Amino acid sequence: MMNNYLITIIGPTAIGKTALSIKLAQHFNCEIISCDSRQFFKEMKIGTAVPSEEELAAAKHHFIQNKSIFKNYSVGDFEVEALQKLDELFQTNTIQIMVGGSGLYVDAVLKGFDEFPDIDASVRDEINSKYDELGIEYLQSTLKDLDSDYYQKLETENPQTLVNPQRMKRFVEVCLGTGKPYSNFIGKRSVKRDFIPIIIGLQADREIMYDRINQRVDIMLQEGLLDEVQQLYPHKDLNALQTVGYRELFDYFDGKTTLDFAIEQIKMNTRRFAKRQITWFKRTENTSWFDYKTDVNEIIHSIESKINNF
């Protein structure tokens, strides 16, 4: 039986993952699964750096602007749907591609989720009571105290979760109910996948990466980011919109900051986000790292060598 291979491209924002994924898809004649947790939403196009029409036409993409910000969509939902799509795609080609900067979503597809112990109902009742009294800040501060590592991961990869009461209650519930960090229960269950991951990481010197980020923000503004955010302003409290590039401009529309200040905050917060992405992805085992300017043929040769050696 032939093996299935999932080429997975990781790295910080604005590093060139989309361009590489398209070149690889064209070479291997396959399709692309996007696991960028912000590009799922069809109302958020400019601020999430969705691939251009030309890029989308150059290779078949999945999970790009296929959901609405008005519908709840979790990483668990993505895991189920992405695996179903991969099962379908592997029927026609044993090589497929996944690309994106959302480490939590990458891990969901490659590793799956874990099982957690049952928690006494009294713990849940106490958490609900304190939440009613103190709000989301209680859940955030408690999780940060009890499991700072997992809090930082959420802050990096899925910040909208930090303002999702149901998810946050569950994290705190596990911490308080077991006396152990929520992250202690992650990665304990071995999940079998019907594909072999080949993980390609893109990297660059920090100053180069920061310059690329600053340029991308300027391009977004030229393409109409301000108008996009203004249209979404009435829905600014939705979980999907609690993300860099939108929150800062919501503050501007609220009259809390100047436009120039908001733009500088977007650039700064995106740079911080990229730094956290690097920290996350550097922990990803069996990753082959390449400079962002590496010739695609060198990367293709590396991938084909790995496939031939399996």
Would you list which residues are annotated within the binding site for ATP?
A: 11-18
Is pLDDT of 189 > 90?
Answer: no
The last residue of one of the domains, among 185, 211, 231, is 185
Same domain, residue pair 197 and 281: yes
Residues 156, 138 share a domain: yes
As a whole number, the mean pLDDT across the chain is 92
Q: Into how many domains does the chain fold?
A: 2
Residue 187 Cα distances to 82, 129, 281, angstroms: 19, 31, 15
Predicted TM-score (pTM) above 0.85: no
* 50, 198: one domain: yes
Does 199 lie in the same domain as 178?
no
Do 231 and 179 belong together in one domain?
no
Tens digits of per-residue pLDDT, 266-294?
A: 999 999 999 989 988 998 989 999 999 99
Q: Return binding residues for substrate.
A: 13-18
- The pLDDT, as a whole number, for residue 114 is 67
The mean per-residue pLDDT over the stretch 249-255 comes to 97
Nearest to 30 by CA among 300, 306, 309, 276: 300
Give the separation between CA 290 and CA 155, rounded to whole angstroms.
Answer: 26
CB atoms within 10 A of CB 126: 15
Q: Which residue has the tokens 């991961």?
A: 153
Is 179 found in the same domain as 32?
A: no
Q: E strands, the chain, where? A: 5-10, 32-34, 61-62, 95-99, 196-203, 287-291
**The token pair that represents 230 in the structure block:** 């203004």
- Which one of 167, 185, 203 terminates a domain? 185
CATH number of residue 162's parent domain: 1.10.20
Residues 130 and 159 in one domain: yes
Tens-place pLDDT, residues 64-84: 999 999 998 888 889 999 999
Q: How confident is the model at residue 19 (pLDDT cuts 50, 70, 90)?
A: very high
Residue ranges at the known binding site: 11-18
CA distances, 139 to each of 24, 129, 165 (Å): 43, 11, 8
Helices then strands, counting H and E runs in the chain, come out as 13, 6
Q: Do 147 and 286 fall within a single domain? A: no
Q: What is the pLDDT of residues 1-12, one digit of tens each?
A: 579 999 999 999
* Residues 152 and 274 grouped into a single domain: no
Looking at the fold, whether 52 and 149 belong to one and the same domain comes out as: no
Q: Tell me the two tokens of residue 43.
A: 């109302």
Domain that holds residue 156: 121-185
CATH of the domain at 249: 3.40.50.300
Tokens 């919109």 label which residue? 241
Question: Any bridge partners for residue 288, and if so which?
Answer: 200
* Claim to verify: residue 85 and residue 172 sit in the same structural domain: no
